[in-house]
Structure 1
Amino acid sequence: MKEKLLIFLLLIPFFLCSQTEKEAEYRTISGFISYQNKQLSNVTVFVDSTMRYTVTDLKGFYSIKAKPGETLRFSYVGLKKVWVLVEEVTSVLNIGMKIENTREELRLNKTLKLGGGTIGDYNAAYMITQIAGDSLNKNATSLTKAIQDKIPDLRIRINEFAEEVLYIKGQELDGPAIWIFDGILFDIPLPVYTSEVKEVFVINTVETGFVIRVKTTIDYDTIKNINYNNFYFLDADYYANDATKYKKIKIDTPTYLDEYPKRAKSTEALNIYLNQYSKYKNETNYHFIIFNYFKKEKFDKNNLLKVLSDFENSSANNPEDLKGIAYKYQELNEHEKALSVYKKIIELRPRYSQSYRDLANTFLILKEYRDVWFAYNYYLNKGFKIEDNDIGEILTSEIIAAYNLDKEEQSSRRKIKINNPTKNIESDVRVVFEWNTSEAEFILEFVNPNLLTYDAENSANNNNDLIIDQKMKGYTSKEIFIKDLKKGNWLINLTYLGNKQQKPTIFKITTYYNWGRPNQSEKIAVFDFNLQNVKMQLLKLNSRSL
């Protein structure tokens, strides 16, 4: 096994060269442009920094040639321009354009946006800090920012009413600070001047929660035109119970499923599949639809493996489809088969960071620790870095986990040790989100036991820099930690926004319970998203899971 892996890794430079040659080739990219679900003609499609362009026809269709690394710009008068970075896998881009908004939009839930930081990096489990009022920055634009200047591990989120809400870094999902001004409790800080503040106590303990006490020089009897009711959370800050459970989402089923009789047995269903295969195998998403049907009907596991094997053979050159197949294998606890698929993906995408992480992580699941270190050392020796982004956070977590779990390998030459005092190496829950295509756009919603909600949006419309970084660095993943489940339910909801293709996005969520502890366990769930703009409840987490 070790020798095969070593040979495989030594062959990667060949694949790197092959990839370079492929990247020099033009790709034909095509699709339809629409606005409010109507096909849009006369949309100009530019290849930025070149003279190449085309225009959509009466049906909104376009076709253009571009190289990986170039950027397509979609432009129409009165509508917001769209930029898409071309990858080596890009072939179909269906674009839904939006009206140009000249007003500056508020960025909601800013601290939880994907990229640039990980929820749960830091854990200030105990904090009592006293700040003298005369030491606060008098030039700060608000008391909240003046306090953050003194305690950098605090984060500010701007809500939809343009109000500043303060959190502890790494504990955002536990909820924001409760403010007590001169003995009166508020959810939102009063608009006081820093010059009016005598003293601030920032307190975070298990007993009190996150509380900020402010003593001021204000004579409240003399204040006019302030409605104190405005300084409490409104209904918009709380979960509206508006997500539908994923399993209850109804979608149209293709006609070829009608060929399967009710209460069919596994052998009968497999024979029907084999007989219809040549007719339907090229239908969009055929294999995954059959897989999901077989899984729902609880047919024999061999039926499921047969469908995945057929799709794997027909998708040998499509890394996005292969990644979805690997996710399905892992959902079935077939990690060896998933490992084989991840090796194929790394041949197709040797410059893609997540290709190496997926390989190493699967070795970690299989407890093949020496192969874990082979993969990570090769990744680092070839100039790849562990950066301050989502994939870098995941790599750090899993290298630390591998180091702590690997009791056999004593060679420091192979093992990699990362000392990161801000990293959550132990937590009630660690959740890793992964998706199979970099064009996928969605909004994740986290709901804590107090029903406060936090959004993290992965979309070109609101965070195009993140989408470009994902494509340039090669990753489609995110991790979060819930340090303490406490009492009550935590919900994870998702609103799918599309992926510019006709086929769905395959989404894998790995939930690690008791992360970093001797009783650590994991559960993999895989979701197929095609229905857009519907909020779906994916997970419900509580202390009973531990």
Structure 2
Amino acid sequence: MKKNMFLLVCAIVSSVFVWGQDERMISGTVSDGNSPISNVQIAVLENGESVFSNTDGKYTIVADTGDVLTYTYMGMKTITIRVEDVTRILNPIMILDVNELDEVVVESSKRLSQKNIEEQYTVRENIIKTAYGYIDAERSSGRIGFIQEDDITFAAGNILNLIATGRLQGVQIIDGGVFIRGISSIENRRPAVFDVDGQIFTQIPMWVDLGNIKRIAVLNNLAMTTQYGTIASGGVIVINTLAGNIAKKGIVDQAKLRNNFYKDDALDSEGRKNNWPAYKKQLYASTSVETAQITFKELAVTHSNSPYFLLDAQAYFTEEWDRADLGEEIIANHFTPYTENSVLLKALSYQYQEQGQYEKANATYKEVFLLRPNYAQSYLDMARSYREIGSTIKSASLHARYGYLQEQGFMEIDTAGLGSIMDREFNNLLALEKDAVVEKGKRNKLFVAKEDFEGTRVVFEWNDGEAEFELQFVNPGKQYHTWKHSLADNAALIAREKNFGYNTMEQLIDGSLPGNWRVNVTYLGNKSLTPSYLKATVYHNYGTRAQRKEVKVFKMSLKNVNQELLTLRSAMGVASK
């Protein structure tokens, strides 16, 4: 046994912080949030290799896992991003490097600004958001054809079939390409390009879920497509999704920012349901598990290649019908997307934990550990997971092993971020489960620090290191503070997380202000078009013998909208989602 443990430690130590030679192409588009930026220098910090973004803001660069990419452009804040094992696409948004702005007074104008148009987006159907800003059809230089959310039927199956139905006037399919009649380049057989939530695609985006489309528009003249350059000489089909294009609903109240009073304006669970993709609405409309199985099989024909559809389906059958066996069958039969993808495996682990399937979560976390032995988060995840399945000795061993690797210099010591969380977790384990960890005769020799906090402890974790979001904590007096996890507001924190390899933070709520607390979240994206998963572990009566916990998982896909996440009903209450 000791020999096996020694070999395991040696294997782990030999791999810690030895970022493998996992050379791959990293590509993406650099923008300011509205328009692409050309001539941005993208460099690999370790070897000085660099490229520049082209006129469309696009770039491609070769990098290894562990390399740091820098994005530099005069007048903009430099962005640094560490390449992870799953990194393939990075679409960073650069912001102005401004230290101080003088007060500016703008005279009113009858011309609508981009901000004015954005504010009207949700209430006017003739506004479309493009990669270069909003276009108001009433004030555009040409006629724009639209398809609205309510006019899209799931029967079409995919975007190509939807186009083929003729719902987009003047758009036709020829030899597998999409062409717009009336645009001069049609004679030269230049196909249209697609603008999906601000990202340009020359191929038909077959992966777009029809149930997630908010609005489609056809830009068919030079005046409207000139900003796209020659690539759009065949016209542009713009697709706004529900997840990526929820516009702001009003002007920011500056008094609210000064006084930080919450206005009960976060999107609730019913509002989130309205923004569910069509496949999820169909599943949850099933009246029996038998009809749900039939619906799933029908949906799987076009959606089974999406790991997020599979995660939703697993959660649905497990949680709605108490059929964990059906949920597991779905994952087992479609496991390929998750293989060697630590981000997806962590999302799956989160769901298992929320569902109380701790053994399955433990097995999945082991796969992540093997993929990421150099991440501090891997040790924390495994230690927590072993504690959940009752293997307290293994949990304590993981904590001890992490400390040993730090002492030996194999892992850097972190005292500001993850270190304090790890110390708190280990101390809590020893304080509450010392009898299961330490032999009876040695318990008196074990020093356990007195817990410095009792109350409600909330630990947040996210599966994707590129995820950017804001957490809003609203106290019983309805005043709030915001924790910002974005490159624009907290680049140093994100760099630190990447360097040490963790994605977690904690919030401690004591009893000094009794009453109901709320936690809301605003998702800002993850530099790709995929969702991210946020796990919240709520510990009630933390540090006492009455300590208990519950896990809530939140799929972040709807961007730029403040959404209700948790309600904490005092230290003795429960969390709701």
TM-score, L = length of structure 2 = 0.64
State the match for 1:444 in structure 2.
Answer: 471
State the match for 1:519 in structure 2.
Answer: 546
State the match for 1:281 in structure 2.
Answer: 304
State the match for 1:32 in structure 2.
Answer: 29
Structure 2 Cα separation of the partners of residues 464 and 81 of structure 1: 10
State the match for 1:335 in structure 2.
Answer: 358
State the match for 1:322 in structure 2.
Answer: 345
State the match for 1:538 in structure 2.
Answer: 565
State the match for 2:556 in structure 1.
Answer: 529
Offset from partner CA, 1:420-443 (integer Å, 9 cap, x none): 45x535x22111111111111222
Larger relative contact order (Cα-Cα within 8 Å, sequence gap ≥ 6): 1
Structure 1 Cα separation of the partners of residues 403 and 258 of structure 2: 48
Structure 1 Cα separation of the partners of residues 88 and 261 of structure 2: 41
Is 2:42–2:69's contact at 8 Å kept on the other side of the alignment? yes
> Using a 3 Å threshold, how does the CA distance of structure 1 residues 260 and 486 change in structure 2: closer, same or farther?
closer
State the match for 2:81 in structure 1.
Answer: 84
> Using a 3 Å threshold, how does the CA distance of structure 1 residues 441 and 260 change in structure 2: closer, same or farther?
closer
Structure 1 Cα separation of the partners of residues 312 and 79 of structure 2: 31
Is 2:318–2:355's contact at 8 Å kept on the other side of the alignment? no
Which of 376, 382, 402 is matched with 2:399 structurally?
376
Identity of aligned pairs, percent? Answer: 29
> Using a 3 Å threshold, how does the CA distance of structure 1 residues 25 and 305 change in structure 2: closer, same or farther?
closer
Is 1:424–1:481's contact at 8 Å kept on the other side of the alignment? no
Is 1:403–1:416's contact at 8 Å kept on the other side of the alignment? no
State the match for 1:396 in structure 2.
Answer: 423
> Using a 3 Å threshold, how does the CA distance of structure 1 residues 289 and 234 change in structure 2: closer, same or farther?
closer
Structure 2 Cα separation of the partners of residues 63 and 417 of structure 1: 54
> Using a 3 Å threshold, how does the CA distance of structure 1 residues 271 and 13 change in structure 2: closer, same or farther?
farther
Q: What SS does the corresponding residue of 1:11 show, helix, strand or coil? A: helix
Is 2:432–2:545's contact at 8 Å kept on the other side of the alignment? no
Between the two proteins, the alignment pairs up a number of residues equal to 415
Q: What SS does the corresponding residue of 1:445 show, helix, strand or coil? A: strand
Which of 365, 377, 383 is matched with 1:360 structurally?
383
Deviation larger for 470-479 or 374-383: 374-383
RMSD: 3.3
| CA positional deviation for 1:263 | 2.6
Question: Gaps spanning 5+ residues in structure 2: where?
Answer: 103-254
Structure 2 Cα separation of the partners of residues 293 and 319 of structure 1: 22
| CA positional deviation for 1:46 | 2.1
Offset from partner CA, 1:281-336 (integer Å, 9 cap, x none): 32362322334554675463333333344465531201111111100000100001
1:408 maps to 2:405: no
Structure 2 Cα separation of the partners of residues 317 and 99 of structure 1: 37
Structure 1 Cα separation of the partners of residues 341 and 22 of structure 2: 17
Offset from partner CA, 1:89-125 (integer Å, 9 cap, x none): 32221112223324289xxxxxxxxxxxxxxxxxxxx
TM-score, L = length of structure 1 = 0.68
Is 1:428–1:485's contact at 8 Å kept on the other side of the alignment? no
State the match for 1:210 in structure 2.
Answer: none
1:68 maps to 2:65: yes
Is 1:495–1:535's contact at 8 Å kept on the other side of the alignment? yes
Amino acid at match of 2:365: Y
1:241 maps to 2:233: no
| CA positional deviation for 1:523 | 1.1
> Using a 3 Å threshold, how does the CA distance of structure 1 residues 284 and 521 change in structure 2: closer, same or farther?
closer
Offset from partner CA, 1:145-179 (integer Å, 9 cap, x none): xxxxxxxxxxxxxxxxxxxxxxxxxxxxxxxxxxx
> Using a 3 Å threshold, how does the CA distance of structure 1 residues 265 and 472 change in structure 2: closer, same or farther?
same
| CA positional deviation for 1:362 | 1.3
Is 1:44–1:56's contact at 8 Å kept on the other side of the alignment? yes
Is 1:319–1:348's contact at 8 Å kept on the other side of the alignment? yes
Amino acid at match of 1:318: N
Structure 2 Cα separation of the partners of residues 258 and 458 of structure 1: 30
Q: What SS does the corresponding residue of 1:35 show, helix, strand or coil? A: coil
Structure 2 Cα separation of the partners of residues 37 and 97 of structure 1: 10
| CA positional deviation for 1:511 | 0.5
State the match for 1:116 in structure 2.
Answer: none
Is 1:31–1:93's contact at 8 Å kept on the other side of the alignment? yes
Is 2:350–2:535's contact at 8 Å kept on the other side of the alignment? yes
